[in-house]
Amino acid sequence: MAQAGIHGLVGLTMRKMSIKKEWLLLGVIIGNMAPDLDALAVAYATLTGGDAHGLHRTWSHSIPFIALVIMIFYIISAVGKSRKVGNLGLGLGIGMLIHSLLDLVIWFRGVQLFWPFYPEINFWASYTPPTWWADKFESAVEFGLIALFLFMLGRLASKQSTDTDFLPKLNIWIGIELVLFAVFLVLVYVWSGYFTAYGAAYIFSLLLAVIITVRMRKTVEAFA
């Protein structure tokens, strides 16, 4: 499972580029996490008894799909004469591309970067991660990394005096993510059937990170 928290943090680092266009940086940060929302499709297929094969790291991580997202937002922007919607779409595309390229480099699995026209690209095909990491610590640490992403958002908000009214609630969510990290750090090693519970908690946490990013868009845009 890719680490949405790391992808979100990568998006945050792009604030150093001093992006001035409204909603562009917001799109970059959300786009860095968005490809892993394909977990919703995986969950639906699993719960309905369907075939979940080929739903993760395929269409949502592909350059053709990313181009389609940018084009759709561009059309909406042109029709509605809203430049910031176009900026959001471009940001989403940039973030999604960064996400897919990062997945190729650091997550020990392949990505169908040119789905559906080209098979999986896998730089790690000849490498097998250690058992203590694969689908175990890798899964549990997801919640810790999302907590870190939310913490960095809160730190920026405090520094910039933006979204300060939301910070008490944000601290609660950070605490919840840390509790999930602690709980699953145990479950992944002692309970063979942990994955269903983990999947539900993961989807919740990923959606939470995206929603909070949108909620704290003033903080995100303040340093753009």
Amino acid at 52: A
CA 48 to chain centre: 24
| Residue-range domain boundaries for the chain | 4-222
Find the range with the poorest average confidence among 5-9, 18-22, 43-47. 18-22
Q: Residues 61, 99: contact at Cβ < 8 Å?
A: yes
3-state class (DSSP) for residue 128:
coil
Banded pLDDT at 56 (limits 50, 70, 90): confident
Name residue, tokens 């992944």. 188
Banded pLDDT at 112 (limits 50, 70, 90): very high
Please determine, for residue 223, whether its predicted confidence score (pLDDT) is greater than 70.
no
Q: Residues 102, 10: contact at Cβ < 8 Å?
A: yes
**Angle (CA) 7 212 68, round 5°:** 55
Cα distances (Å, whole numbers) of residue 21 to 12, 89, 137, 149: 15, 12, 38, 23
Could you give the dihedral angle defined by the CA atoms of residues 216, 220, 221 and 224, in that order, rounded to the nearest 10 degrees? 170
Rounded to the nearest integer, the mean pLDDT of the chain is 91
Q: What is the pLDDT of residues 75-108, one digit of tens each?
A: 999 999 999 999 999 999 999 999 999 999 887 8
Name residue, tokens 């394909």. 38
Dihedral (CA of 83, 89, 93, 99) sign: positive
**pLDDT of amino acid 84:** 94
Q: What is the mean pLDDT of residues 134-155?
A: 93
Q: What are phi and psi of 111, to 5 degrees?
A: -135, 135
